[in-house]
Structure 1
Amino acid sequence: MLLSAFQHDYIEAGCDEAGRGCLAGPVFAAAVIFPSTFKHEVLNDSKILSVAQRYDLRRIVETEALAFAIASASAEEIDQINILNASYLAMHRALDALQISAQYILVDGNRFKTYKNIPHQCIIKGDGKYLSIAAASILAKTYRDDYMHQLAGEHPEYDWLSNKGYPTVKHRNAVLKHGLTPHHRKTFRITDPQLKLDLI
């Protein structure tokens, strides 16, 4: 079972992002605040859950959390400020949108840009260690998937329904054949055949 909190003296929000390695679409982020008593046996890193589990858990998170928020940074913003800073921007926007102000922030990964002088802790693989980060990973992932499904209807040739904008062979070949859309990240090496494939 994942831990409920890193510390118990402050209102603690978990943050995570989704879509950082994609060639197209925004990067999404979420922030989640749970009551200190919250527990769940299945809630875990979104990457190890099935699609059905993610959406089932999303409903539970949105019901049980004291506060939650989802935000994004666009492909254009990613090109302007780079993907790392855009990820921070999306997380800051999610924290801005929380119905309850966080007093301490847990972030998945090893880097974060300080938010409003609120203390934070970066935790490598935190989405597999803390419930609030795992919940944020699920919200960010599922809301981004929903968004990419909408875009897929406008641009079916890129197979975003399946690849969600990640650099699969089919996606890169479609770019070579059809060109870029306004949703592609122009600063990424989109057609580089040496790019490592991300499996969904």
Structure 2
Amino acid sequence: MGAMPYEPPTHTVERSLRATTGAKIVAGVDEVGRGAWAGPVTVCAAITGLRRPPAGLTDSKLLTARQRAELAAELRQWVTAYALGHASPQEIDDLGMTASLRLAAVRALEGLPVRPDAVILDGKHDYLGAPWRVRTVVKGDRSCVAVAAASVIAKVHRDNVMAELAVDHADFGFEANAGYPSPVHKAALEKRGPTPHHRLSWAYLDALPQWRHLKKVRVAGGGATREVEGQLGFDF
């Protein structure tokens, strides 16, 4: 893949967790899809051990689509284990983003063949919580091998999911924008309205008067949603 203009990730945090907590199995966890208007939020949990990672490994956002695809194929064979978890748009609408991230992360972690002794979570917020032993690391997808691996695998997998959805919703450009805001996506929403794969609790519907009646918010104290008109969505 050639020389990279950034420092490669290391096992520093994994080694620290082993030394300070006795953790023998450490999983890196990263998410993708948090800011999208459509599609699931996807979380990958990856266990890598302390082996030398493939060349070019870094935060998925720093790689081209081709680099990500090639690296993800290599990583799926290289990692000790990995698993993916999703929370659907409907679950996001019902539960909110923080709870949905936790749901997807637990699904990923419980999908691993072994239970990690500790988890490295990308970012500064612990959306996972007890009973998991969590270490949050800002920019962990750049600095930690296991989190970087999870970042790449999650991104490529979710992009493929959105490309499959594009077959039945060609006007929305999901194969290119992965459900995130883009001119093509916005134009299709104005013309056709949200698909079954859109998050209906999000504020983009406030700018679409013809579709605003579909807006949903969570009912306080409960998980169900109700339809409302003209109300702001939650700030995720």
Indicate which of 65, 85, 101 corresponds to 1:71. 85
Aligned match of 2:189: 175
Aligned match of 1:44: 58
Measured after TM superposition, the shift of residue 176 of structure 1 is 1.1
Task: Report percent identity of matched pairs.
Answer: 34
| AA matched with 2:158 | R
The TM-score, its normalising length taken from structure 1, stands at 0.91
1:92 aligns to 2:106 (yes or no): yes
Aligned match of 1:2: 9
After superposition, where does 1:98-113 map in structure 2 within 5 Å? Answer: 98-113=112-127
Aligned match of 2:153: 139
C-alpha distance after superposition, 1:23-44 (max 9, x if no partner): 0000111000012123333100
In structure 2, distance between residues paired with 1:162 and 1:110? 29
Measured after TM superposition, the shift of residue 92 of structure 1 is 1.2
In structure 2, distance between residues paired with 1:100 and 1:74? 25
Indicate which of 109, 131, 139 corresponds to 1:125. 139
Mean CA deviation greater in 167-176 or 4-13: 4-13
Q: Is the 8 A contact 1:5 1:12 kept in 2?
A: no
Partner SS, residue 146 of structure 2: helix
Measured after TM superposition, the shift of residue 155 of structure 1 is 0.5
Q: Is the 8 A contact 1:4 1:39 kept in 2?
A: no
Aligned match of 2:70: 56
Relative to 1, partners in 2 of residues 1:191 and 1:168: Cα closer, same or farther, differing over 3 Å? farther
Q: Is the 8 A contact 1:176 1:191 kept in 2?
A: no
In structure 1, distance between residues paired with 2:85 and 2:128? 17
Q: Is the 8 A contact 1:69 1:98 kept in 2?
A: yes
Q: Is the 8 A contact 1:172 1:190 kept in 2?
A: no
| AA matched with 1:2 | P
Query: Larger Rg: 1 or 2?
Result: 2
C-alpha distance after superposition, 1:46-73 (max 9, x if no partner): 0010111111111221111111001110
In structure 2, distance between residues paired with 1:96 and 1:180? 32
How many residues of Structure 1 are paired with residues of Structure 2 in the alignment?
Answer: 193
Partner SS, residue 7 of structure 1: helix
Aligned match of 1:159: 173
Q: Is the 8 A contact 2:98 2:127 kept in 1?
A: no
| AA matched with 1:47 | K
Measured after TM superposition, the shift of residue 7 of structure 1 is 3.4
Relative contact order higher in (CA < 8 Å, ≥ 6 apart): 1
Partner SS, residue 135 of structure 2: strand
| AA matched with 1:69 | A
The TM-score, its normalising length taken from structure 2, stands at 0.78
Structure 1 residue runs of 4 or more that deviate by more than 4 Å after TM superposition: none
In structure 2, distance between residues paired with 1:145 and 1:15? 18
Task: Give the RMSD, CA atoms, in angstroms.
Answer: 1.5
Where does the alignment leave 5 or more consecutive residues of structure 1 unmatched? 194-200
In structure 1, distance between residues paired with 2:121 and 2:86? 16
Measured after TM superposition, the shift of residue 5 of structure 1 is 4.3
Partner SS, residue 190 of structure 1: helix
